[in-house]
Amino acid sequence: MTECPCGEPTTSGYLCRSCAKRLDEDLRQIAALWPESHTTLTRQDRVGPGGSRGSGGAHGLPVSLAASETRDYVRLVVSTWLRHLAGDRTPEDVRTIAQACRWLELYSSAWLLLPEVIELAEQIADAAQRLRWLVDRRADRIVVGQCDVCGSDLTAYERSSEATCRPCERVVDVGSVRQARIDALMDYHGSDADVAELLTSMYGVAFTPATVGRWVDQRRLWRNGMGLVPFRRAVELGAQHAAPRRRRTAG
């Protein structure tokens, strides 16, 4: 009788009954969440209140690569273990990650007899956890920036002063994160919609793409060869535009 990494005795193979069951559950969960993670990816992983999403695009505000990176990691883990364990015996009908997980679960009792099942269980558990983090994003949490340690999204509840990086469990100040994000944009250009979105979030008053377009028509703002406007100048105009409106609201 050997000992499972969790400390419990094993009756057959290298994992105890509880850890073997958890391996099967993680494989089933990856198979179930994989299609949903693609939906998160196509939304650019920007789920906000009520399931809304911010505007973006090739020249928009910086977008997170969390969904793509998570899916790449899960795909690498599952496909590597499939090749290792199945070799040339991989069935022709196993073509997706979900199908690969179901196949690995189907023969999991055989993997329990292999020493490498310990590493398999650890990596599959990590992949399942990352996929849960990606898909289980709360609708009332918004993305305020990216973690400067691991690159994952920093999320916060609306009006909260703190944001959290779920993978590395860091808690940071929302104001500093937003200011760093704004500072990083100042040397770039954006679409009218992206500029309006940034100014609205910065100054707390509504800006529209039409407002930005008017500034261009008035020659207070200019476009580059791709039709985009400079964030730095737009932020200066936004401050001038927002000040009297804030005073009226305060009065």
Task: Tell me the pLDDT tens digit for each residue of 166-199.
Answer: 777 778 888 887 777 778 778 889 889 888 888 8
Check residue 44 and give its pLDDT: 41
Say yes or no to pLDDT of 213 above 70: yes
Q: Do residues 74 and 152 both lie within one domain?
A: no
d(CA 105, CA 112): 11
Domain that holds residue 168: 141-174
Beta-ladder partners of 189: 230
Higher pLDDT, 149 or 168: 149
Query: pLDDT tens, 36-78?
Result: 776 665 544 444 433 334 434 333 333 345 667 888 899 999 9
**In the listed set 120, 150, 174, which residue is the last one of a domain according to the structure?**
174
Residue 4 lies in a domain: no
For residues 177 and 161, the answer to whether their CB atoms sit within 8 Å is no
Residue 2 lies in a domain: no
Q: Do residues 63 and 116 both lie within one domain?
A: yes
Residue 196 lies in a domain: yes
Q: Do residues 127 and 148 both lie within one domain?
A: no
Q: Do residues 62 and 145 both lie within one domain?
A: no
d(CA 81, CA 45): 27
Residue 119 lies in a domain: yes
| SS3 track for the chain | CCECCCCCECCCCCCCHHHHHHHHHHHHHHHHHHHHHHHHHHCCCCCCHHHCCCCCCCCCCCCCCHHHHHHHHHHHHHHHHHHHHHHHHCCCCCCCHHHHHHHHHHCHHHHCCCCCHHHHHHHHHHHHHHHHHHHCCCCCEEEEEECCCCCCEEEEECCCCEEEECCCCEEEEHHHHHHHHHHHHCCCEECHHHHHHHHHHHHCCCCCHHHHHHHHHCCCCCCCCCCCEEHHHHHHHHHHHHHHHHHHHHC
Q: Do residues 47 and 102 both lie within one domain?
A: yes
Beta-ladder partners of 230: 189
Give pTM, 2 decimals: 0.50
Q: Do residues 27 and 108 both lie within one domain?
A: yes
- Percentage of the chain modeled with pLDDT above 70: 80
Residue 5 lies in a domain: no
Give mean pLDDT, residues 1-18: 86
- Count of the separate structural domains present in the chain: 3
